[in-house]
Amino acid sequence: MTNKAVLEGGPADLSERVVDAPSPGEDVKVPHRGGYEHFRATARRQDGPEGSLPVFEWWERTEIAE
């Protein structure tokens, strides 16, 4: 079974809000509109169809170098 995580915050048009969870201690980095949206783990969990999932909160955006 794949571990999942819930993404909170960031761009309103981010299509995926439930993603594969990273290894413990790592952030989630999602490619989006020419850059990356970065999400950090919180102590919170959210119940949903996939069960109780850890919540990762948006904290910054970086641009993809050309």
pTM: 0.88
Which sign does the torsion angle of CA 32, 35, 36, 37 carry?
Answer: negative
- What are the pLDDT digits (tens) for 13-30? 998 999 999 999 999 999
d(CA 14, CA 26): 20
Beta bridge partners, 51, equal 48
pLDDT band at 1 (very low <50, low <70, confident <90, very high): very low
Length of the chain as a residue count: 66
Domain positions in the chain are 4-63
Return mean pLDDT, the chain.
92
- DSSP secondary structure of 19-66: EE--STTPPEEEEETTEEEEEEEEEEEEEETTEEEEEEEEEEEEEPP-
Q: Range with the lowest mean pLDDT among 7-11, 50-54, 58-62? A: 50-54
